Chains A and B, each alone.
Chain A
Amino acid sequence: MKLDRRGFLKFAVGGAIGTLATPIPWDLIDESAKFTDLWAPEPAKGPSSFVHSTCRLCPGGCGITLRLVEDKSGRDEWRGWHHKEFIQRRRLPAVPLRAVKIAGNPDHPVNRGGICPLGAAGLQLLYGTNRVTTPLKRTNPRGEGEAAWEKITWDEALNIVNGKLREIREAGNPHTVACILDNKKGLTAELIDRFFRAYGSPNVITMPSQEDVETVGLSLMQGTGGPLAYDLENSKYVLSFGAALLEGWGAPVHNMMVFGKWQEANEHTLVQIEPNCSITASKADKWLAVKPGAEAALALGMANVIVTEGLYDRSGIARCQGFEGFKALLESEYNPRKVSEITGIPAAVIATTARAFAVTKPAVAVYGRGQGVMSGNLAEFMSIYSLNALVGSIGARGGVVMQREVPFKAWPALATDAVALQGLSQPRIDGEGGEIKHGVSMAHNLTAALKSGAVNALVVHEANPCYALPRARKFEEAVAKVPFVLALTSCMNETARSADIVLPVASYLERLEDVTSAARVPYASMSLTRPVLANVPEARHPGDVFLTLARAMGGSVGSSLPWDNFEALLKEKVGGIFASRRGRIGDQEVAMLGSSDELWEGLNAGKCWYEEPIFGGGGLTFNPQGRTPRLEPVSWMKASREYPMLLVAYENINIANRRAVDTLPYLTKNIDNTVLQKHDLLVRVNPETAGRLRLVEGDAATVQCPSGRLSVRVHMDVGMMPDVIGIPLGLGHSNDDPFLTGKGVNAYEVLEPELDPVTGLAVWWGTRAKLIKV
Chain B
Amino acid sequence: MSEHQEVASKEKYGMVIDLDKCTGCGACTVACLSENNHYVREDESDKLHSVTWMKVYKVTNGEPFPNTKVAFIPRPCMHCDHHTPCVSVCPVMATDYNPLTGIVSQIYTRCIGCRYCVGACPYHARYFNWWDPVWPEGMHKLLNPDMSPRMRGVAEKCSFCNHRLQKAKDKAYVEGRKELKDGEYVTACAEACPTRAITFGNMKDPESAIAKLIKSPGAFRLLEKLGTQPKVYYLSNESWIRELGDNALGRKKRGGLA
Contact = CB atoms under 8 A, between A and B. Distances in A.
Partners in one complex: yes
Interface stretch (A5-13, A107-115, A458-466): A107-115
Interface string B10-36: 000000001011011111011101110
Interface string B200-223: 000000000000000000000000
Given A83-B152, A654-B26, A260 B109 contact: no
B6 interface: no
Contact of A127 (B25, B52, B138): B138
Given A43-B144, A257-B195, A677-B45, A102 B65 contact: no
B141 interface: yes
Contact of B68 (A111, A113, A277, A722): A277
Interface in B56-78: 56, 58, 60, 62-66, 68-71
A100 B149 CA distance: 14
A452 interface: no
A602 to B, nearest CB: 25
A671 interface: yes
Contact of A719 (B23, B70, B141, B142): B70
B151 interface: yes
Contacts of B145: 43-46, 69, 100
Contact of B64 (A119, A252, A535, A718): A718
A121 interface: yes
Contact of A100 (B27, B66, B143): B143
Interface stretch (A224-232, A281-289, A401-409, A630-638): A281-289
B136 interface: yes
A41 B140 contact: yes
A253 interface: yes
Contact of A121 (B30, B135, B137, B258): B30
Contact of A246 (B23, B42, B139): B23
B177 interface: no
A677 B109 CA distance: 33
A738 B137 CA distance: 13
Contacts of B46: 677-678
A263 B22 CA distance: 10
Contact of B27 (A99, A120, A688, A743): A120
Given A256-B194, A257-B194, A40 B45 contact: no
B108 interface: yes
B132 A672 contact: no
Interface stretch (A170-178, A374-382, A566-574, A661-669): A661-669
Given A114-B196, A653-B25, A686-B65, A101 B34 contact: yes
B134 interface: yes
B24 A279 contact: yes
A721 B65 CA distance: 7
A321 to B, nearest CB: 38
B243 interface: no
B31 A720 contact: no
Interface string B120-139: 00000000000011111111
B192 interface: yes
Nearest to B52: A669
A598 interface: no
A95 B60 contact: no
Nearest to A744: B45
Contacts of A535: 138, 141
Contact of A668 (B18, B40, B153, B196): B40
Contacts of B193: 114
Interface string B36-61: 01101011111100101000101010
Contacts of A42: 148-149
Contacts of A717: 258
Contacts of A722: 65
Identify which of A99, A120, A720 gathers the most chain B CB atoms within 10 Å of its CB.
A120
B51 to A, nearest CB: 8
A337 interface: no
Nearest to A674: B258
A676 interface: yes
Interface in A685-734: 686, 688, 717-722
B27 A78 contact: no
A677 B69 CA distance: 23
A116 interface: yes
B46 to A, nearest CB: 5
Given A100-B145, A116-B194, A129-B137, A670 B23 contact: no
A37 interface: yes
Contacts of B33: 121, 666, 669
B122 to A, nearest CB: 21
A470 interface: no
Interface string A602-640: 000000000000000000000000000000000000000
Interface in A281-307: 282-283, 287, 289
Nearest to A719: B68
A739 interface: yes
A256 B195 contact: yes
A405 B34 CA distance: 36
A120 B143 contact: no
Contacts of B70: 277, 279, 282, 719
A256 B30 contact: no
B197 interface: yes
B99 to A, nearest CB: 27
Given A277-B68, A287-B66, A720-B65, A117 B25 contact: yes
Given A114-B192, A256-B23, A289 B65 contact: yes
A259 interface: yes
B150 interface: yes
Contact of B66 (A113, A252, A263, A289): A289
Contacts of B24: 279
Contacts of A253: 194
B96 interface: no
Contacts of B71: 282
A129 B139 contact: yes
Contacts of A676: 45
A103 B31 contact: yes
Identify which of B70, B140, B142, B194 gathers the most chain A CB atoms within 10 Å of its CB.
B194
Nearest to B40: A665
A597 B30 CA distance: 37
B58 A674 contact: yes
Given A103-B192, A114-B194, A719-B70, A82 B45 contact: no
Contacts of A666: 29-30, 33-34, 38, 40
B195 A114 contact: yes
A665 B44 contact: yes
Contacts of A187: none
Nearest to B27: A117
A668 B45 contact: yes
Interface string A729-751: 00000000011000100000000
A41 B152 CA distance: 11
B101 to A, nearest CB: 23
Contacts of A718: 60, 62-65, 68
A95 B135 CA distance: 15
Contacts of A679: 45
A411 interface: no
A115 B138 contact: no
A728 B22 CA distance: 21
A32 interface: no
Interface in B164-204: 188, 191-197
A80 B138 CA distance: 15
A766 interface: no
A422 B109 CA distance: 73
Given A111-B194, A719-B68, 8 more contacts: A36-B109, A98-B141, A100-B143, A124-B139, A126-B142, A247-B23, A280-B23, A669-B33
14 contacts: A82-B134, A101-B34, A113-B191, A115-B27, A117-B30, A260-B196, A277-B69, A279-B24, A280-B23, A282-B68, A666-B38, A688-B65, A719-B65, A739-B40
The 4 closest A-B pairs by CB, nearest first: A114-B194, A39-B151, A43-B143, A260-B195
